[in-house]
Structure 1
Amino acid sequence: MKKINKFMLVIMMLFLICCTRYDTAYADSATIENENDGTVKLVYNNDYDVKVKLIVQLTGGTQYKYDIPKGSVDIKIPMTQGNGEYKFILCRNVSGTKYAVMQTVSVTQSLSSDNEAFLSSNYIIDWDKTNIAIKKAQSLAGKGSDNDKIKYIYEFVVKNYSYDNAKAKNINDIAKTAAYIPDVTKVYNAKKGICYDYSVLMAAMLRSVGVPTKVVTGYTPNAEVYHAWNNVYANSKWNVIDTTYDAQMYRAKQKYSMYKNFSDYKDVVYTY
């Protein structure tokens, strides 16, 4: 009973802070189905002229919010906080920062290993086998060990991609209508990007060759602002890789190492 009461309190607070009760005459119907790979498939027709968000929360976990694109939506939303019951709350903006609940769906995740959630394609790390970046990952990695795959893809990104200072300066303008999410193909072809671009590209390429990889956002002494990096599973443990930092060190002809100290990357906000 204590766990149930605590969860209900969290949901009630969520409604009071982020949402209002939505009149049933305006209720929407989205299809949210468990893909059993660490994601749910969201199918929804978003015809609203205002922002629509999907709030995702594991019982007792961190609350994640996703801006839902306009038009016909068919996307995979990640469940990256482990096994358990997740609540998916579809909300529509009604005024200012106030959102109204349109639909709530519960999904129970039960994976044989938490690492499975970090191998799939999803809304944040969107890729498939036809993607040019993924084809490059296949050619780089071959049939080598996981350590070889990580090393080859890491070196490719560090040595071939530069930091996009103009994009970093204008990111708030870029994300005015919706939260910025990197496009793997565009980032690959541009050969430059911000930290979020670096980490999503790395995750897509490594996942495509079977290496569990996380995109992690938060704070580190190696960056002056909100940052993104990767946690990569190798040698039976998670390891921190920061290609954004290392690419700049490479260009400055400074020493750097592929794996970072976890203690420098412990201030985590979100994990995808």
Structure 2
Amino acid sequence: MFKKLFTMTLLAALLIGSPKGIEAAAPYIIDRSALDKGIITVAGSDLNDTKAIVRISKDNNKYDYYLTNGAQYPLQQGNGTYSITIAQFLSENKYKVVSQESIELKMDDENAVFLQSIPMIDWNNNTKAVAEAKRLTSDAMSDREKTAAIYSYIVRSIQYDYAKAQSLDSGYTPDLDAVYDTSKGICYDYAALFAAMARSLNIPTRLAMGYEASAPATFHAWNQVYLKDIDQWVTIDTTYDAARVQNGQDTPMIKQAADYTITQIY
């Protein structure tokens, strides 16, 4: 449903330079104060002036993000040892490593990371959809009921934006207020909107990317939600279901996980 963009792929950038001995002179500092929530932030004097990336690696998996001031970066691959690499732009697809550190993550609740605001699910208490989520779920008694209320709102209210899907720039991330105001978006917008609304209600929610069985060549985004009452992650796809519901078709909220192939999770 959309192109593979920078924040959704394993960056093919060439990282130049040895990390040995660079920490003392590094222009960036990794803030570990929120490791109990599974996130880090990066501080630096030239964050607004220098194009840079942060690469978060664990085992054989790598996630790359543009480095921006104040952004929270998730350690979403569970407890264990992560390598954090910061690299500054040189030219074309080349970056120079300026800092590299290891972080040992030992969270009591590994699902806590899926409650946070991160670059592709950027929300706070002033986000319009967050206020809408509170209104929609004011009478809900369980996480499942809250999830169903958010799901129903999105699949009935948000229209797929075909023009946007064809015109996105590299590095696109959803503007949740814009999606809410226009009631239009692509699958990335649907999934980010759903995740922000559910996370704001303390429901662990993942934004997953990859492929769905009925369209195996189309890169797609959807959600996984942790329901405490059944102690299970369930799969929800508001994009495809919006098309079905808006065409008068019945469809179950919870999908078969086997129909989805995940390449990234946020």
- Normalised by the size of structure 1, how large is the TM-score? 0.84
- In the aligned structure 1, how far is the partner of 2:18 from the partner of 2:196? 38
Is the partner of 1:123 in helix, strand or coil? coil
- What pairs with 1:237-252 in structure 2 (closer than 5 Å)? 237-252=232-247
- The residue type paired with residue 33 of structure 1 is D
TM-superposed CA distance for 1:202, in Å, is 0.3
Match of 1:159 among 152, 156, 161: 156
| Larger relative contact order, structure 1 or 2 (CA cutoff 8 Å, min sep 6) | 2
- Unmatched segments (≥5 aa) in structure 2: 1-9
CA offsets per residue over residues 136-171 of structure 1, 9 Å max, x none? Answer: 111111252001000000000000000000000112
Which residue of the partner structure matches residue 255 of structure 1?
A: 250
Q: In the alignment, does 2:96 pair up with 1:100? A: yes
CA offsets per residue over residues 208-252 of structure 1, 9 Å max, x none? Answer: 111110000001124451000000111210100000000011122
Q: In the alignment, does 2:37 pair up with 1:37? A: yes
Tell me if structure 2 keeps the 8 A contact 1:61–1:81.
no
Which residue of the partner structure matches residue 194 of structure 1?
A: 186
Structure 1 residues 17 and 148: CA distance shift in structure 2, 3 A = closer
Tell me if structure 1 keeps the 8 A contact 2:72–2:117.
yes
The structure carrying a bigger helix percent of its residues is 1
- Unmatched segments (≥5 aa) in structure 1: 1-13
- What pairs with 1:213-252 in structure 2 (closer than 5 Å)? 213-223=205-215, 224-234=217-227, 235-252=230-247
Match of 1:147 among 138, 144, 150: 144
- What pairs with 1:81-92 in structure 2 (closer than 5 Å)? 81-92=77-88
Which residue of the partner structure matches residue 21 of structure 1?
A: 17
- In the aligned structure 2, how far is the partner of 1:199 from the partner of 1:39? 20
Percent same amino acid at aligned positions? 33
Is the partner of 2:43 in helix, strand or coil? strand
- In the aligned structure 1, how far is the partner of 2:210 from the partner of 2:128? 29
Which residue of the partner structure matches residue 52 of structure 1?
A: 52
Q: CA RMSD in A?
A: 2.2
**Across the two proteins, how many residue pairs are aligned to each other?**
246
Q: In the alignment, does 2:61 pair up with 1:68? A: no
TM-superposed CA distance for 1:67, in Å, is 1.6
Tell me if structure 2 keeps the 8 A contact 1:78–1:123.
no
CA offsets per residue over residues 73-130 of structure 1, 9 Å max, x none? Answer: 1110011000112111111222332221011122221111221111111222111112
- Structure 1 residues 179-188 or 209-218, which shifts more? 179-188
- In the aligned structure 1, how far is the partner of 2:259 from the partner of 2:31? 37
CA offsets per residue over residues 153-200 of structure 1, 9 Å max, x none? Answer: 0000000000000000112xx22xxx1111221211120100000000
Q: In the alignment, does 2:178 pair up with 1:181? A: no
Is the partner of 1:202 in helix, strand or coil? helix
Which residue of the partner structure matches residue 75 of structure 2?
A: 79
Which residue of the partner structure matches residue 4 of structure 1?
A: none
